[in-house]
Structure 1
């Protein structure tokens, strides 16, 4: 374990919960905000990208989905790497990868180049949320974990709300994709530097809290990954939260376009209206985390939230165009109930070994992003299929409504999955070990 620079020795001597812990956490949390802005950037100029690159709904969905194809599988590696190396170097490297992806995106003129840019952005962004939660898990007491996981998510969704406005300023009117990408890459360089200097190495007492007297070696970390993969309820929590996350994947790529097609909302007003969805999530994540920490209950809130999130998706699909003003009420309420998914992260950490907590959190995020990537592609292909079946060359509002109803039906699965989660008596993850080769009880 490396010794801390002088500026961090006081907080290390204090233990978890020092006031400066908020500063340490804030920089990775702001990096997650930045990453979220990068994630939603294409949604503001989807028609322009389709036209410039001569792509259909399915084609642009496949190119943009490359973000999730990198993000999702990297979650397994992110968890292992964080448990092995800590967050400082990894988060700085992740920000640098985002800068490279933005530079490639600035000059993109084809679907392949756009997909490459999104792939690199997904690779770098994979460290953002899990890295920030991991930092909070180290520097704060464990009884604040759900609240901080929710607060971190809330910071990111604040980026989605303000990001709509910021991106319109950055890209200009009419949107200039290349100019916007270069500006965002400059911001990324600032994060590379800030993360390196603001996030300290892991303190010695973190090893004591995880039950280890020495830093994790690779063998022990891989054993932790194996224990997570062999834990039945971790899979149930992860898949349940993944289905709850579907509206977020939809919103980041199709949201404003959906409002324009279904409710006749103007292309300028639609992004502002859809920002209310992120307002709901941004408020809901820390509130749900606080309620969960205070009550000590995770699973009941996840079950109720899953049911409400599916209902909210169905309601959005059936709002008639003549009652479009109802979207101003439904969107924030929908976002608020969807935010319950954030409780899956602390629940997964609590179901597993303490020294594999980072891996468990990352695994839940892995499943969420894997499903998100599939949804981005499948939704585009689905509405293309529905439109062609109705003889339409371009998808209309009815096609988008049908697609949303299909998503609502899929999301019902989350209710069943969370009901099947087994909360072990005592603190033994092995009580719920899968009966598979290599998974010892």
Structure 2
């Protein structure tokens, strides 16, 4: 009887603990990642408004959308150090206020320079959203659960991308894109407040000097293990973010011939697939771990299929654009699972820095990819407001060529063997 009572108390304590973790990690930090993804992908729906009102060519749209990735990347190393020193709550909450200010500036700007400043501040302000969430999970959750918890957080980000498609398109029937960015600023301030007041997990600030912590970041970048685990997926990850952040919308309009409303519906389907993909790859990684299957096997296999869908986009075959959008979005989430793989390779005290160091590489490449695609497409003139199919084929061929070496590197790992790399 005593043993049964003890067991029952342990179960209740575990349930209470899980409920608290859900309330203090997944909800507040998940909302932060929701906002981050919404800002990241919103230009895919409003690009026509920006191009029409401000007469922006493809190169400028690529730069304007990509500046988010550049400032996001620039913040990663100091953010990684601050997350490990001060904890996720103390870093994430004030950073979101910067994003809110950027959203206000973006909404009020009537020049390309003003839009760049606003978009850059947005990227800077949300730069710690996923990293702070991963840091929180590494502090308060068992390390073997990190891939699953990361997948859950990524799926919440997918909901943010989902909100930026058909729901946002419907919202634009009632408000202008400028008013919408003011509303996004208000929402961002509210999320900042939720994180500040609801996260109560214990975190002891580190007294380590910044110079020492920065030197450890330098050691990470000199580590072959870090690069070996990161390089096979970085271009796939950058391509995934750059295409969904902007160019999937124009491709659906110019190549697939969809109207604005149908394009929003297709993007909506893609974001549903993104959420499903994050959860599926996270669950599959967690489940197959019991049978000795390496997470890198699942991640790399998904990336290979992701590249296959890019080949289908390039091919011109009569395939439904909804199928291509769903497949691209679903299997592209496999590349994001490498965040957890890299974070697992170090002790929890380094999780913030290693995740931020990897994120810096990914987002810097996303900026370059975003801009390069715009440069390639911009070499052709528009016909009746649309770029020709060949412009998109050349840009996709360039992206596939950048991702191919990563897949070859992945094969050298022999990931099908059930052993650690």
Residues 147 and 282, structure 2, Cα contact 8 Å, conserved in 1: yes
Structure 2 vs 1, CA of residues 163 and 68 (structure 1 numbering), >3 Å: closer, same or farther? same
Equivalent residue runs for 1:76-225 within 5 Å: 76-172=77-173, 176-200=176-200, 202-203=202-203, 216-225=208-217
Alpha-carbon shift at residue 318 of structure 1 (Å): 2.0
Query: In 2, distance between residues paired with 1:244 and 1:95?
Result: 27
Q: What does residue 20 of structure 1 align with?
A: 20
Query: Aligned Cα RMSD in Å?
Result: 2.8
Question: Does 2:269 match 1:268?
Answer: no
Matched, 1:294 2:287: yes
Please identify runs of 4+ aligned residues in structure 1 that moved more than 6 A: 13-16, 390-393
Give 1:10's aligned residue. Answer: none
Alpha-carbon separation, structure 1, partners of 2:386 and 2:393:
14
Alpha-carbon separation, structure 1, partners of 2:57 and 2:398: 21
Query: Residue 355 of structure 1: which of 349, 355, 365 is its match?
Result: 349
Equivalent pair of 1:83/1:216 in contact (CA under 8 Å): no
Alignment of 1:196-345 (within 5 A): 196-200=196-200, 202-203=202-203, 216-245=208-237, 246-296=239-289, 297-320=294-317, 323-324=318-319, 326-345=320-339
1:55-95 alpha-carbon deviations (Å, 9 max, x no partner): 21002211221111100121122211100110112111111
1:148-201 Cα deviation digits (max 9, x unpaired): 11111111012212331332244335x612211111111112112111011125
**C-alpha distance in structure 2 between counterparts of 1:127 and 1:16, whole Å:** 28
Matches of 1:244 and 1:196 in 2, distance apart? 34
> What's the counterpart of residue 376 of structure 1?
370
Listed as ranges, the gaps of 5+ residues in structure 2 are 1-12
SS at match of 1:263: coil
Contact conserved, 2:69 with 2:364, CA < 8 A, in 1? yes
Q: Is the 8 A contact 1:16 1:138 kept in 2?
A: no
Structure 2 distance, partners of 1:391, 1:269, is 20
Shift of 1:20: 0.5
Q: Distance in 1 between matches of 2:51 and 2:115?
A: 11
Partner of 1:405: 397
> TM-score, with normalisation over the residues of structure 2?
0.87
> What is the Cα deviation at residue 276 of structure 1?
2.2
Q: How does 1:38-49 map to 2 (within 5 A)?
A: 38-49=39-50
Counterpart of 2:8 in structure 1 is none
| Cα 1:121/1:84, change in 2 over 3 Å | same
1:4 paired residue number: none
Alignment check: 8 A CA contact 2:106 2:181 kept: yes
Sort the Cα spacing of 1:236 and 1:172 in 2 relative to 1 into closer, same or farther, 3 A.
farther
CA distance in 2, matches of 1:128, 1:68: 13
- Structure 2: how far apart are the matches of 1:58 and 1:226? 34
In the aligned structure 1, how far is the partner of 2:17 from the partner of 2:147? 15
Q: 1:15/1:72 Cα in 2 relative to 1: closer, same or farther (>3 Å)?
A: farther
Are 2:165 and 2:267, in contact at CA under 8 Å, matched by a contact in 1?
no
Report how many residues are paired: 401
Instruction: Provide the TM-score with structure 1 as the length reference.
Output: 0.84
